[in-house]
Amino acid sequence: IYFHTFHTNTLTHLYLRNMSTQALEYRYDFVFLYDVQDGNPNGDPDAGNTPRIDFQTGQGLITDVCLKRKVRNYVMLQREDFDEARQATTNIFIRENAALNKSIAAAYDNTNVKEFKDARAYMCLNYYDVRAFGAVMTTGKNAGQVRGPIQLTFGRSIDPIFPSEHTITRLVDVDDDEKHTMGRKSTVPYALYRTHGFISAALAQDTGFSEDDLQLFWDALTNMFDLDRSAARGLMAARKLIVFKHNSKLGNAPAHKLFDLVKVEKKADVDAPRSFSDYVVSIDSSALPEGVELLDLI
C-alpha cells in the first residue's frame, strides 16, 4: 500500500492508493507518428466532413481534440481490467452522452468536499482526463479550472494529401414514399501524420498526474487506433513514438531543438507515398543535449 500526495493552490491532499504511484518528476517531450490508409482520420464539419487540410500547403490536419478523444476512449476500455482502487481514479470526465455538471455536482456530495478547491482536488483524483489534459469545471457548481500537464499540437501530414470523394448509395428507404438516395464519402489514400506533445512535471504535481498515469498514456498512444476501428477511418496505425525525457522538472533543452533531431523524409524514388515503408525516419542521437534521454517506445 502506498501514499500519493499532490497539491492544489492552498491545500495538500493525501490519498491512500492500493497501487504503486510516484509523482511525475521529469519533463517529457515527444514526437508521435501515425498514418491512415483509405480513411478519413478527422473530418471537418465546416467542409462537409471532408478530411481537414491546410489549404495553403495541402497538408492534412488532425486536431488535438480528436487525439485526446481516442486516448479517453482507450482509458475507458482499459480500466475494466484494473482493480477497484485503480478504476476509482481512472474515470473519464468528458465522455459521450455525459452531463458534465452532474459529475461536478457529484463531487460536492463527497463529505470531504467543502469548497470549490476541494472539489477541484476531488475531480483531479477521480478523473484521469482531468489530471492529464485539464478541464474547465465552472459551468455549474464551481470546481475550478485545471491546466493539464499533457498538451498536444495538431497532427500535420508529412506531405500534401489528396482526398478522394466517393459516391455511395442507400438502398433502404426511410419512408414508404422516399426514393433511393445518394451520398458521399471522403477518404485519404495514404498520409503519414506527425504530432508533437509536451508533458510538464510542474503541472503534473498540481493535478496529481503520476508515473502510472504516464504509462497509461503511452499505452493509449500505442494501442488506441486498434480499439477505434470504423469503416470511415480506414486503416490507422501508430508508427513511431519518440520520447525525450529530461532529468529535471523544468527541462534541459528547448522542445523545438529536440524535435529538430527527428527527420521524416520521403524516399527519393517515391512519388506518391502509399505506405509507411515509403518514408525514412532518422534520429540524430549524437546531437542529444546533456540531461536528455531518448526513449524509442514504438
Give tens-digit pLDDT for 190-216.
999 999 999 999 999 999 999 999 999
179: pLDDT confidence band, cut at 50, 70 and 90?
Answer: low
pLDDT band at 78 (very low <50, low <70, confident <90, very high): very high
- Can you tell me the mean pLDDT for 52-80? 96
Residue 177, pLDDT > 70, answer no
Amino acid symbol at 60: G
pLDDT recorded at residue 174: 66
Query: Binning pLDDT at 50, 70 and 90, where does residue 140 land?
Result: confident
**Cα–Cα–Cα angle for 96, 74, 41, rounded to 5 degrees:** 75
* pTM for the structure as a whole: 0.89
What confidence category does residue 178 fall into, taking pLDDT thresholds of 50, 70 and 90? low
pLDDT at 96: 86
In whole numbers, what is the pLDDT of the chain averaged over residues?
Answer: 89
Which residue type, as a one-letter code, is found at position 202? A
Decide if pLDDT at 69 tops 80. Answer: yes
**In this predicted structure, what is the pLDDT of residue 224?**
96
**CA distances to 38, 188, 233, 234, 266 from 164, in Å:** 9, 6, 13, 13, 21
User: Which 8-state DSSP code applies to residue 210?
Assistant: B
Q: Which residues make beta-bridge pairs with 296?
A: 242
pLDDT at 16: 35
Cell of 187: 477518404
Among 62-71, 167-176, 231-240, the least confident range: 167-176
Q: What share of the chain is helix, strand, coil (3-state, %, to 5)?
A: 30, 35, 35
Question: Residue 112: its pLDDT value, please?
Answer: 82
Q: What is the Cα–Cα distance from 130 to 116, expressed in whole angstroms?
A: 15
Q: Is the pLDDT of residue 1 over 60?
A: no
Question: Mean pLDDT across the stretch 82-111?
Answer: 89
